[in-house]
Amino acid sequence: MNALSRTGWAIIIIVIVLIAIGGGYWWYASSQQGGKGATTTTKKPVKVAVLFDVGGRGDLSFNDMAYLGAQRAAKDLGVEVKYLTPKSTSDMIPLLKQLASSKQYKILVLIGFLWTDALNKTADQFPDQKFALIDSTTGVTRPNEVDILFREQEVGALIGVIASGMAYELNGSTIGAVAGMSIPPLWKFHIGYLFGAKYFEMKTNKTVNFLWQYTGTFGDPQKGYQTATQLLQQGAKVLYGLAGLTHIGMFDAVIDWNEKGYGKALAIGEDASQEWYNPKYIPVSGAKRVDVAVYTAIKMAVQGPWKGGIHTLGLKEGGVGIWDLDGVRYFAQIAYNESKTKLTPDQIVNIVKQQREKYIKPYVWNIVHELEQKIKSGQIVFKTPLTEDEYNSIIQQLQQGNLNAALAKGHV
């Protein structure tokens, strides 16, 4: 009886061991096959939200660049992106509170200066929610907030040199800009663009007349058309678009000015490469890599390291610059794929190349590269005005020929 008991227990133990071994093998095989076992659960993707400014998608510029950056993050980082556009600035605070309260999103990425006040009134209420403000700062350092700014003066200065040179190739000496709202990023563009014009004067002894006009909006192409037409009537040969969707109207005004025989003029795009819109009359665009800023913010939140505070992007970091022909081709391909242009990317690139050779002479590029090197090396550093009065003071001194008034470091 005792022997039978010992035998019975031995059999039971052997069975238990076999079951354990079998179960371990099943778990191992299951894990090697991508977790197809019955108990495997699918990991949900991390969610992020991108909140455009009130202009929304379709501006072919600022907001569309933000979208590209988020799409790249979705592809590279595997995040799920939700896109939202407030109807007005009064909708911003309720929208932020709603999204932060849901606790669904790893980060809320806010595009543009208009979000500044809303974020300032919301961020402290949700300390566990990460926020990124692109192209502005709340002026408050918070552990749950990053502000990514651009040194717009740097790209503006290069464009100022190029615009001045193009104006002379068009037998004129006046350049202008159709700007959006009087806000800090545009103050910096204004300072840089005027600095570039004055730098061109200093290097060539050729006088440049300078026009700058705020439209008060980033979403009104008709206003852009009207403003551009007025500047063209004042003798502007080159117009720089700094108004988002509004300056699409500026492009149309320049096209009509040429096609209707009123005179010769050229336009310059900004943020995205916008040459594809009409490469015959838009031979160059400044780059403001909102896409890089958005991608950077999402990556910081998802992969780390996360560090609250202000981060700036300029020429040295590849955050601003002038779109090369590869960039022109990239955006031309997108436009072609979306049936926004009938020209192929090859055709657009060829036209842009011809127009640049015709209107941007080697001596102009030499000035541009010299100035670019001074900026990248830190030999000169632009001031960032903290108030509108300081901004206006810098502009007044630049107009009087004092280039150093725009610099926090170095001199020319």
In the chain, where the domains are located: 47-150, 152-288+324-409
| pLDDT score recorded for residue 43 | 72
Asked if the domains at 47-150 and 152-288+324-409 fall in one CATH topology, the answer is: yes
Cα angle, residue 320 at apex, residues 289 and 129 outer, rounded to 5°: 45
| Mean predicted confidence (pLDDT) in 205-222 | 97
Per-residue confidence band for 303, with pLDDT thresholds at 50, 70 and 90: very high
| pLDDT score recorded for residue 62 | 82
pLDDT > 70? residue 4:
no
Beta bridge partners, 211, equal 176
pLDDT > 80? residue 37:
no
**pLDDT, tens only, 228-251:** 999 999 999 999 999 999 999 999
Which residues neighbour 198 within 8 Å (Cβ) at sequence distance 6 or greater?
160, 208, 398, 401, 403
Count CB-CB contacts under 10 A for residue 58.
Answer: 15
| pLDDT score recorded for residue 61 | 76
| Mean predicted confidence (pLDDT) in 345-370 | 98
pLDDT > 70? residue 12:
no
| Mean predicted confidence (pLDDT) in 249-266 | 98
- Helix (H/G/I), strand (E/B), else coil: 77: helix
Q: Which residue has the tokens 């019955």?
A: 38
**pLDDT, tens only, 47-82:** 999 999 887 887 777 888 999 999 999 999 999 999
Q: Which amino acid is at 326?
A: D
CB of 138 within 8 A of CB of 116?
yes
Q: List the one residue out of 292, 298, 297 whose CA is nearest residue 272.
A: 292
| pLDDT score recorded for residue 42 | 58
| pLDDT score recorded for residue 353 | 98
| pLDDT score recorded for residue 57 | 86
Q: Which amino acid is at 225?
A: Y
Q: What are phi and psi of 100, to 5 degrees?
A: -65, -40
Alpha-carbon distance of 292 to 274, in angstroms, equals 17
47-150 — its CATH code?
A: 3.40.50.2300
152-288+324-409 — its CATH code?
A: 3.40.50.2300
Count CB-CB contacts under 10 A for residue 90.
Answer: 9
| pLDDT score recorded for residue 116 | 96
Q: Where are the alpha helices (DSSP H) in 234-380?
A: 246-259, 290-302, 325-337, 345-359, 362-376
Record the pTM.
Answer: 0.82
Per-residue confidence band for 381, with pLDDT thresholds at 50, 70 and 90: very high
